[in-house]
């Protein structure tokens, strides 16, 4: 079996199972370009290793590519198209697993204060109002960037305070309720001069009224972060990302529940559903233990250990 049809069929099977599979698809297409359309059983460990080591891959990227290729070759090995997988069994040693950056409220204020300086150039495709609204929207809803940028005005019901997210990561739609503050912010944003406000137009749009590309938003945020002087001071390979606003939303929400003495165990499934996760295990990786969250959890445990009323 040739590599090209093997890749196509594997991707199609994954998508038929309900997976978006965008990132693994890009890795497999890249591997196909690297090897050429050769027979599966002619692919060597040396070719796979050269692909994994290419383009100055950091350990995290190396492991991601290896995981994709391992699953791909295991799939065809299990179906008798290969005798064994050519994927190397060992991976580079890493000093730590990836930990998302949780923005403090001070960080968030610094980011918002820096927006005018970040977007002052006429060449910026996003207006200052658009970028500021997008940042607050992502933090307030915990939405994925791609979900937010795909929103059309027909998906936004400000009367009911609901947003319909279509074509999610697992091709399932969901409703996201809006709080009064973010609802008011969107109402204000929709009255910005020069906007195109037909029902099929994007909610977040460029100065010319077109959808905003994810790469544009990511590049703008990297510039904003540098202007605001927000950076990691640990050994992480990555600086704070735009996607970390989603992690921040989850951690801040959980911290607030602890502070309010709410039944966190009962509310966690609601948080998972709100974030669009299929199960609680997907939500757990978002709940990084920050000092503030740890303090609130410790207070809860102390009340329980001392015989307080809170035993939930």
Placement of tokens 């994007």 in the chain: 202
Under 8 Å CB-to-CB from 19, ≥6 apart: which residues? Answer: 170
The tokens of 229 are what?
């002087």
Distance CA 152, CA 159 (A): 16
DSSP strand pairing (162-165 vs 156-157): antiparallel
Residues annotated as catalytic (active site), given as ranges: 144, 169, 243, 246, 277, 286
Q: Is 82 helix (H, G, I), strand (E, B) or coil?
A: coil
Distance CA 84, CA 77 (A): 6
What angle separates helix 22-35 from helix 59-78, to the nearest 10 degrees? 80
Residue 183's CB: how many other CB atoms inside 10 A? Answer: 19
């Amino acid at each position: 079996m040739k590599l090209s049809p093997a890749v196509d069929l594997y991707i199609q099977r994954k998508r038929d199972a309900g997976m978006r599979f965008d990132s693994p698809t890009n890795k497999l297409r890249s591997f196909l370009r690297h090897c050429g359309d050769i027979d599966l059983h002619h692919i060597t460990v040396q070719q796979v290793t050269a692909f994994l080591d290419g383009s100055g891959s950091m350990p995290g990227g190396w492991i991601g590519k290896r995981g994709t290729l391992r699953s791909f070759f295991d799939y065809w090995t299990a179906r008798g198209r290969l005798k064994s997988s050519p994927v190397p069994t060992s991976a580079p040693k890493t000093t730590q697993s990836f930990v998302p950056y949780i923005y403090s409220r001070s960080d968030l204020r610094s980011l918002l204060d820096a927006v005018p300086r970040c977007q002052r150039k006429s060449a910026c495709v996003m207006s200052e109002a658009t970028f500021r609204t997008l940042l607050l929207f992502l933090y307030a809803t915990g939405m994925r960037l791609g979900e937010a940028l795909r929103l059309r005005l027909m998906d936004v019901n400000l009367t009911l305070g609901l947003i319909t997210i279509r074509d999610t990561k697992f091709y399932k739609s969901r409703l996201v309720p809006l709080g009064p503050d973010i609802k008011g912010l969107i109402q204000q944003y929709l009255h910005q001069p020069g906007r195109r406000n037909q029902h099929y137009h994007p909610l977040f749009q460029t100065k010319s009224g077109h959808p905003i590309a994810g790469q544009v938003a990511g590049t703008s945020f990297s510039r904003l972060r540098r202007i605001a002087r927000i950076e990691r001071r640990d050994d992480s390979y990555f600086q704070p990302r735009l996607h970390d606003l989603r992690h921040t939303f989850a951690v801040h929400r959980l911290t607030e529940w602890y502070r309010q003495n709410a039944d966190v165990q009962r509310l966690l499934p609601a948080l998972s559903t709100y974030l669009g996760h299929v199960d609680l295990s997907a939500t757990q990786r978002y709940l990084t233990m920050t000092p503030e969250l740890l303090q609130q959890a410790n207070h809860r445990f102390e009340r329980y250990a001392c015989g307080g009323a809170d035993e939930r």
